[in-house]
Amino acid sequence: MATLRPPLDAAPAARHDFAMTETPRAPAHPIDPLFTRRWSPRALDGAPIAEAELLTLLEAARWAPSAYNAQPWRFLYARRDTPAWGPMFSALVPFNQTWAQNAAALVVVLSRTISGPAGPDAQTNRWHAFDAGAAWASLAFQAELSGLAAHAMAGFDAEALRAALAVPATYDLHAVVAIGRRGDPAQLPDPLRAREAPNGRNPLSAIAAEGAFRFEE
């Protein structure tokens, strides 16, 4: 069995404790607490973050693994109260705007869908989305380690955002990630406040099996 590191920093967990006690996230096998400590809150405190703090999260994403080390991920970011914020925030669906207005930054996660030069002979990179997912996960775990929260959103108008940010057709837009420090859930509208707690997971036996496929078709 792998030796587990002690928690890297107990302090962030304490800072994030608004609802943690109500839905314990108990792993069925020993893992670093980082994995259950990370979750996606909607209550954010509205405080700004320095660009350097944001770059630390993107730096973690940069070191993700990728097929052929192609590094197909790209990130476009905006901090609140900067000119770049408006186009990204406007593309979010109203539900996400209600809470993401208190994010300190938004990060659009994209990936290049082709390998090599663009053009009629361009080769599709089959792993671009898989690799972008790995990079986003690195960003999210670094956010937790940095005392920040990262909350991915698929609820945005992808074509409007593509146009607003001049993203070429050779890139897919996957998610917009809201980043900020956790805030008080009391600030959320009623239905969101009730949901503001870490959720659970399917049992390991439902997602991992030795040998052949034996899950729901």
Ligand X SMILES: Cc1cc2nc3c(=O)[nH]c(=O)nc-3n(C[C@H](O)[C@H](O)[C@H](O)COP(=O)(O)O)c2cc1C
| Residue ranges in contact with ligand X by CB under 6 A | 39-40, 96, 152-155, 175, 198-199
With respect to ligand X, which residue has the nearer C-beta, 16 or 112? 16
With respect to ligand X, which residue has the nearer C-beta, 115 or 130? 130
Using Cβ positions, the residue closest to ligand X within the complex turns out to be: 155
With respect to ligand X, which residue has the nearer C-beta, 106 or 175? 175
CA 110, CA 71: separation in Å to the nearest integer? 11
3-state secondary structure the chain: CCCCCCCCCHHHHHHCCCCCCCCCCCCCCCCCCHHHHCCCCCCECCCCCCHHHHHHHHHHHHCCCCHHHCCCEEEEEEECCCCCHHHHHHHECHHHHHHHCCCCEEEEEEEECEECCCCCCCEECCCHHHHHHHHHHHHHHHHHHCCCEEEEECCECHHHHHHHHCCCCCEEEEEEEEEECECCHHHCCHHHHHCCCCCCCCCHHHCCCCCCCCCCC
Whole-number minimum distance, CB 123 to ligand X, in Å? Answer: 26
Whole-number minimum distance, CB 54 to ligand X, in Å? Answer: 19
Whole-number minimum distance, CB 109 to ligand X, in Å? Answer: 8
Whole-number minimum distance, CB 195 to ligand X, in Å? Answer: 9
With respect to ligand X, which residue has the nearer C-beta, 116 or 179? 179
With respect to ligand X, which residue has the nearer C-beta, 90 or 123? 90
Whole-number minimum distance, CB 112 to ligand X, in Å? Answer: 18
Pairing of strands 149-153, 123-124: unpaired
